[in-house]
Amino acid sequence: MKIPVIRKVLESNERSAKDLETLFRDKGLLALNLMSSPGAGKTALLERTLSDLQAEFRMAVVEGDLQTSNDAGRIADTGAAVVQINTQGACHLSAGMVGAAVKQLPLDSLDIVFIENVGNLVCPAEFQLGEDKRVTMLSLPEGDDKPEKYPPMFAQSQVMILNKLDLLPHLDFDLERARKGARLVNKDLKIFTVSARTGEGMEPWYAWLKQAVLDKKMQKNNAEP
C-alpha cells in the first residue's frame, strides 16, 4: 500500500510545482532551490549574498526548517524580506508549503527568491518547488566523496557550491576529488568554491546569479505578446 501513497504525494506536489513555475514565470522572477545537508552553510551564503548584492537586486528568502525561526531572523537582519516555514517534522519542503509562503512576499517587486530547503542531502531532491535552478551546497567538513555517495541531489542540480574553503588547511578534503566525483554524477554541473565566512570565491557565484536573472527576464519578455 505504501507505494501508491507516495506516488500520489509526488503527483500532487508536481501539480502545485507547475502552478508555482507559472507564477514565477509571469513575474519574471528567478527562483532558486538551495539544498544541502544540515549545517553546510546555506543561510551563511544567503546572508553574505543578500548583503553584497542588495544594491543590485531585490531579493527575498523562503526559509524551510523543522522548527524555529532562527534562520529567518538571520535573513531579516540583512534587511531582506523573509518567510519562515516550519515543517513540523517533515524533512523537505513541498510546493504547497512554498506556494503558501510566497503569498506573503511582494512578488511584483522582486528579482530573486531564494528557497532554503530543509537541511537534508536526500529527499528534497524528489520535490519540485517550481524553481528555475537547483543549487546544492557541500561543505568541506562533510567529505569529498559525498557527490558520489548521494548522487540524486547533485545529478538534479545546475550548481554545486563547495563551502567552508577557509577550513581546507585543517581537513583532508581533496577539492579535485570532490569536483571529479560531482562531474561523474552530473557532467554539466557548474561548481563554485567559496567561503561564506571570509567571502573568498563569491564573485563567480554573483556573476552566475546576474546572468540567471537576465535570462529569466528575457524569457518573460519573449513570452509577452
**Do 93 and 75 meet the contact criterion of CB atoms below 8 Å apart?**
no
Shortest distance in whole angstroms from residue 169 CB to Mg ion:
25
> Interface residues with ligand GTP (CB under 6 A)?
36, 38-44, 71, 119, 163-164, 166-167, 195-197
Nearest approach, Cβ of 49 to ligand GTP (angstroms)?
12
For position 81 contacting Zn ion by CB under 5 A, the verdict is no
Size of the site for Mg ion (CB under 5 A): 3
Rounded CA separation 41/71 (Å): 11
- Min. distance of Cβ 10 from Mg ion in angstroms? 25
Rounded to a whole number of angstroms, the CA Rg of the chain reads: 17
Q: Find out whether 40 and 119 touch, Cβ atoms under 8 Å.
A: yes
- Give 39 or 73: the residue with its C-beta nearer to ligand GTP: 39
By CB under 5 A, residue 167 contacts Zn ion? no
CA–CA distance, 119 with 108 (Å, rounded to integer): 29
Please pick, from the candidates 47, 71, 111, 144, the single residue that binds Mg ion as defined by CB under 5 A: 71
Binding-site string for Mg ion from residue 20 to residue 49, where x marks contact by CB under 5 A and - marks none: ----------------------xx------
Cα gap 88→4, rounded to integer Å: 24
The rounded distance, in Å, linking the Cα atoms of 218 and 210 is 12
